[in-house]
Structure 1
Amino acid sequence: MSITGRKQGEPLTAPPKPPKPPGQGPKPRKAKPAKKSGGWGRSIAKWGVVTAIWGFLAVLFTVAWFAHDMPDVADAVKFERRPAVTLVAADGAPFHRFGDLRGATVHMEDLPQHLIEAVVATEDRRFWWHFGLDPIGIARAAWTNWRAGRVVQGGSTLTQQLAKNLFLTPDQTIKRKAQEAILALWLEARYSKEQILTAYLNRVYLGAGTFGVDAAARTYFHKPATELNLRESAVIAGLLKAPSRYAPSANPDRARERAEVVLAAMVDAGYLTEAQAKEAMAQGPAVPRRKPGSEGDGRYFAAWVADQVAAFVGSDHGDLLIYTTFDADTQRSAESHIAEILRSKGADSKVSQAAAVVMTPDGAVRALVGGRDWDQSQFNRATQALRQPGSAFKPVVYLAALEAGWREDSVLMDAPYSKGKWNPGNYDGKFRGEISLRDSLAYSVNTSTIRLLEETGVPRSIAMAKRLGLTGNMRNDLSLALGTSETTLLELTGAYATLANDGRAVIPYAILEIRDVNGQLLYQRRGSGAGHAVSGPDVAAMNRLLLAPIAYGTGKSANLGGRMAAGKTGTTQDYKDAWFVGFTADLVAGVWMGNDDGSSMNRVTGGGLPAVLWKEIMLDAHQGLPVRDLPGLTNPHTGPLVAQTQPYPVQDEPTPEGTQRPTQQSDPISDLLRRLTGN
């Protein structure tokens, strides 16, 4: 036996448990309650209620989040727009408008039914049945955009578009779209479908600065919206997709194509039959066709005028009527001739741009063309481009000399000239020896003009330029004689106008009056310029000098036949700029030709294409005007001192600047002038 009291070989076991006290036997097991039927249903219902509550709270929170900074609905009546500025031509006809235009407020019941149907068929076919949002349209747009991989279709309803137009910005953000949906629901709950559609049609932007269908109808079709036909209604409805892209005033082809899409949508929606749609398209163009850059619209003129308005009435103004000096016929002629000469001669001559200005002798601008095509470039080469005028500046030097006592037949020396490293020459490289002031200007001789400036003094010519209205910085050296100081075509033409205006300085202008839409006068032009700049005798002498370039000199191509005209050519170094500026008793005109990048033309001089262009513009502008003499050039006993019907030696081709005059002892012009003036 081991020390544990277990016999050897007995299994090892735990000691027996002590006996339990009486009354402490095993507890009886409780019976499990029976499972109640429908437990899963109640669980689903319970969690459904919980989910609904949390979903409602989430939606409420989302709505509150997007709605907390929505604009005040009361601001919808505060329709802010750019003031409409309407430009009126000299004959009283409006010819251009800037800013935003709102027409009369129209009610849906007063509009043509086909306009309503065109808008609904194109923009929101389920408008009359949805509650402000169109789930079908949203799903269709989402599917289409997903298949395209980009946004190609929208799902907004007309009510949503009105909400955006009334209250929101056009930002494409989730927040803005959510706010748009909230406001659309609010609009549908508060207003009838007719009220919503009426508000939309009176508020929507339709291109060309127009807001509302009535403003668009008056702008594009010159009639109120209540008189639109089916074809015109389709054009208006087509603008809703992209107003600037489909505006018929700018893109008639796109407007026509879009109108066809609208008519097809009306057929698909059941508003029209195929025959009615075809009949509408067969009515002809809904608007007068205008291709980009077409002649006569005067957009360079209009932009120049618009830039001046704030200086007269301030920038904080309402709608305005601007009465101007604009002449549509002259503008149309100038634009047409520029387009034609650049089309036919531009490529061979390496000329890409041209500009023209036509004004009366007192500075009233009748036409202004700042380039060949406004749609391609809005830079105004008549008012903004600073260019060297070349020999077109020489009349300033000669006028200063006349004022200093020189005469038309005073003798100059045409010979090689050198000053330091500067060795200017003549266009043809030839020298004539002694030459009169008249012939020196007629043939635009450089060396004789430089000597004239040297003898009369540079400051005298600079002072004369300032008196004539040239405001640019003048070079205080002898190169001034060759027109090296930059100016604009408008300023240079105005300087020449002084000579056509009996010596009274001219400030070119276009605005006569400015009135508000109620007719109240805000500005009226007064005065007649800057006073006398040149004396009468000097005006007469200078005008006689300026007859010579057209009569037998470098500007023969500008000859107007039996009408007395004075003018001067100008060509800058390397043929970068070519000018012709001249005048009659009735009109003053300036022409510039060149390239925007300053590249050289193909030997184009002022006596070539610019003189031809000037002549064509002036011939058109003088139609119906009687022939009159230039200031100071009428002899009370013999009539005009110089009539261009005299038998001048005229060559078929323009004489390049500086070429030698045909060898002869005298000419009819000089002999006649000497006899009449006693010189």
Structure 2
Amino acid sequence: MSKRGDTLQNKGKRGARRAAAERAGSGGASTAGKTRLSRNGKSSGGSSGGANGGGPQRPSLFWKWTRRIALWGGAAALLGAIFLAFAVGFAARSIPSFYQLKANQTGQTILVRARDGSEIVEIGPSYGEWLDYDELPENMRNAMIAVEDRRFHSHFGVDFWRTGGAIVEGVMGTRERVGGTSTISQQLARNLFLSTNRTVDRKAREAVLAMALEWRFTKEQLLELYLNKVYFGGGAYGVDSASRKFFSHPGTELSVAEAAIIAGLVKAPSRYSPTADVQAAVDRAQVVLRLMREQGYITAEQALVDVDSVKLKQQSGQNSVRYFTDWALPQLDILLPETNAPLEVWTTLDVGMQRAATASIDSNTPAGSQGALVSLDRDGAVLALVGGTDYVETNFNRATNALRQPGSSWKLFVFLAALEAGYTPEDRVKDVPVTIEGWSPRNSNGRNVGETDLRTAFAYSINTVAAQLGNEVGFGTVASMARRFGVTSPISTFPSMVLGSSEVRLIEMTRAFAAVSAGGMAVEPYGILKVTTSDGETIYEHERARETQLVPDYVAAGITDLLQAAVQTGTGRAAQIGRPVAGKTGTTTSNKDGWFVGFSSGITTGVWMGRDDAKAVPGLQGGRAPAQAFAAYMRYAVKDRAVEEFDTELNLPDWQLEPDEEALFGDPDEYYFIDEQGNMIEPGRRDTFDEAFDEDGGGQGGLVPVPEPPSAASDDFLEQATGQSVDPRERQRQRPPPAPNSRPPPPPATAPP
């Protein structure tokens, strides 16, 4: 074929391909149109987007984002690793040296001593002796690693395998919460530098510090720090302190079983403490022994050790003593300047009396009830204090915190007010039905005896007489008398208050009776004698308070007479102990509370019993279980004291002895005065109030002579209450007349409710 023919043929072929392309563009492409010739004359698959074509393929969206995430994640991980490395390095540089951490013991230790100097309890952290790594028993080291961090020797601060497994278990719902993942290094970091808050931020900082510790110290140093600083409960920090507290010997002498008990405490010191729950501690120790055997630290034979045979240190008196320390030690915040130095606190507590008090409450408190006892020396020193039947079960202090109705023991203040108003124990009063402002009190036996004397009315706790006396002297006056004797609880001035409807604390009532025992002098309870530093320097010592006369001597003698009669012949006969005792019972409605408060040979003791929910206790009366507990304790408390007879001789003032108008005149310094708060100002102390004194009672200071009281139940009152006329001869009762040309003084101010 000629060249020309070849040219025409080629042109024809190009035209055919052009036509085929046009047809393909219009949707009618044939199979032939899907091929093209390669430069070497061979055909290849045609369409650029065909799935089966031979051209290049575009990657799918999924793989595109997978590659991006991998690249971004890798970059982020690299940046995170760099940041973590910087953070760990910076933290490692900031961590104190090993020797600084050894010397840094945080927290304050308070050693509490009884009045005889014997140690009764140690409060706060106790560190014992520091044990170097080689001094720590191998069983102790292995037990701690087995139960707390089995990969301690292989990780670098954080056990990612253990943490990841815990997270997976938490996500899958096989665990209640993600926890138990902290390594020994993390726990050490937390104990040294962080709080115990469960937050993501705190956990992150804990991890950084743990890795910094691993960077800075060897595994041996970390374990030494941990075992000397970890908390084992009961205030014990470190193995040596825990060993001495629980087993009475140094930490270097720990057996396998003892090491297992101590290692098991870290998870929950209070729950597994052998002093709180022996069985729980034993069960936990068995778990530790099993883990030690599984990890090859001990043999199967060693794992069968009898943990029950371990001898625990006797914690004598620890239970009830804590009620006393809970009340006394917070007072250090007021008595001392701020300090974190270790302290020794010498207290007023008598160990023997505390045991006797605990035993008397335990043996006499009705089943299902609680009991409390407070015992004061004549100067206010707390000799014994029991706030409940079991401190471990409940640490609520019923001796110092519980507010309960005192019942008839409150009549102390009613009769004090009556005696101060001019009554004597021999004065005649009437036990008759009465109604005061719509309130009609009844006697416990439902009967009325008619005419009797004040002593008998008090001894047998006659309610109607107390109501008449309270109405006569004024309910505000009774409240003021209670305030004067140290009652700080709210006091109502409704008529029923004379029978003890206002709630008070046991320590307040005991304080009031102690003031009577002291002859009417104020008594302030205290529990701390002195405080010294660890090197013996005295930084506080109790000083005797200035004496303050609360009532005249004759009033104190009169009320002591009444209180003695209540024990000799009245409702408190169960409190007799073979020597003079004065006291008063108290029982509230439906037998919800039982009280007895009394004194003998300079010791005043108050006992309360009842239920925390204020439900009735069948058979509970102040003259039974509380009085019996009082007697059981007091027989021991006074055994080494001389028998003391009570001073009940009434040296009455002239205005009560002489029915003579002139008896009310004389030197004002010879009078007792009552201020606006109901406090008595004793004779001879008037010099600081001269400018406020006014013989007519109108001075700015409100200081007035003790007002002349009317009779226990006035004629008009009795006629109205009983509906009967009063014998005119009763009107001849001897009372001193008021001073001539003088207006009556204003009544004492009532105490706030």
Q: TM-score, normalised by structure 1?
A: 0.77
Is 1:270 the counterpart of 2:299? The answer is no
TM-superposed deviation, 1:590: 0.6
Is 1:327 the counterpart of 2:343? The answer is no
Is 1:101 the counterpart of 2:119? The answer is no
Cα separation, partners in 2 of 1:56 and 1:306, compared to 1, 3 Å? same
Cα distance in 2, alignment partners of residues 451 and 147 from structure 1: 72
C-alpha deviations, 1:549-608, integer Å up to 9, x for none? 111111111121x22111101122343322110110142111112233333333532112
Alignment of 1:334-413 (within 5 A): 334-342=357-365, 345-346=366-367, 352-413=369-430
Is 1:250 the counterpart of 2:268? The answer is no
Is 1:58 the counterpart of 2:84? The answer is no
Cα distance in 1, alignment partners of residues 111 and 456 from structure 2: 49
Cα distance in 1, alignment partners of residues 322 and 468 from structure 2: 44
Is 1:160 the counterpart of 2:176? The answer is no
Cα distance in 1, alignment partners of residues 537 and 548 from structure 2: 30
Cα separation, partners in 2 of 1:183 and 1:16, compared to 1, 3 Å? closer
Superposition CA RMSD, Å: 3.6
Paired residue for 2:611? 595
Cα distance in 1, alignment partners of residues 445 and 75 from structure 2: 92
Cα distance in 1, alignment partners of residues 193 and 437 from structure 2: 73
Paired residue for 1:675? none
Cα separation, partners in 2 of 1:321 and 1:60, compared to 1, 3 Å? farther
Cα separation, partners in 2 of 1:175 and 1:441, compared to 1, 3 Å? closer
Cα separation, partners in 2 of 1:148 and 1:577, compared to 1, 3 Å? same
Paired residue for 1:579? 595
Q: How many pairs align? A: 587
Structure 2 SS opposite 1:102: coil
TM-superposed deviation, 1:463: 4.0
TM-superposed deviation, 1:443: 0.3
* Letter matched to residue 116 of structure 1: R
Show structure 2 runs of 5+ residues with no match. Answer: 1-10, 16-36, 43-66, 651-753
TM-superposed deviation, 1:204: 1.8
1:412–1:436 contact (8 Å) kept in structure 2: yes
Paired residue for 2:434? 417
C-alpha deviations, 1:627-666, integer Å up to 9, x for none? 512442699xxxxxxxxxxxxxxxxxxxxxxxxxxxxxxx
TM-superposed deviation, 1:31: 12
TM-superposed deviation, 1:315: 5.4
Cα distance in 2, alignment partners of residues 631 and 198 from structure 1: 65
Cα separation, partners in 2 of 1:450 and 1:259, compared to 1, 3 Å? same
Cα distance in 2, alignment partners of residues 50 and 592 from structure 1: 77
Q: Among 631, 643, 655, which residue is 1:615 paired with?
A: 631
Cα distance in 2, alignment partners of residues 401 and 188 from structure 1: 78
Cα separation, partners in 2 of 1:115 and 1:555, compared to 1, 3 Å? same
Cα separation, partners in 2 of 1:143 and 1:94, compared to 1, 3 Å? same
1:296–1:336 contact (8 Å) kept in structure 2: no
C-alpha deviations, 1:483-541, integer Å up to 9, x for none? 23332110110111112223321011111112333333222110145423244444333
* Letter matched to residue 139 of structure 2: H
Alignment of 1:661-676 (within 5 A): none
1:248–1:287 contact (8 Å) kept in structure 2: no
Paired residue for 1:650? none
Larger Rg: 1 or 2?
2
C-alpha deviations, 1:340-364, integer Å up to 9, x for none? 334xx335xxxx2222111212211
Stretch moving more, 421-430 or 57-66: 57-66
TM-superposed deviation, 1:414: 1.1
Paired residue for 2:267? 241
TM-superposed deviation, 1:412: 1.0
Alignment of 1:483-562 (within 5 A): 483-528=500-545, 530-560=547-577, 562=578
Cα separation, partners in 2 of 1:75 and 1:440, compared to 1, 3 Å? farther
Cα distance in 2, alignment partners of residues 252 and 488 from structure 1: 35
Cα distance in 2, alignment partners of residues 159 and 31 from structure 1: 75
2:458–2:566 contact (8 Å) kept in structure 1: yes
TM-superposed deviation, 1:308: 1.8
Q: TM-score, normalised by structure 2?
A: 0.70
Q: Among 457, 467, 479, which residue is 2:484 paired with?
A: 467
* Letter matched to residue 60 of structure 1: L
Cα separation, partners in 2 of 1:612 and 1:68, compared to 1, 3 Å? farther
Alignment of 1:150-229 (within 5 A): 150-151=176-177, 154-172=180-198, 177=203, 179-229=205-255
2:258–2:310 contact (8 Å) kept in structure 1: no
Cα distance in 2, alignment partners of residues 155 and 421 from structure 1: 70
* Letter matched to residue 157 of structure 1: T
Q: Among 114, 120, 135, which residue is 2:145 paired with?
A: 120
Is 1:86 the counterpart of 2:72? The answer is no
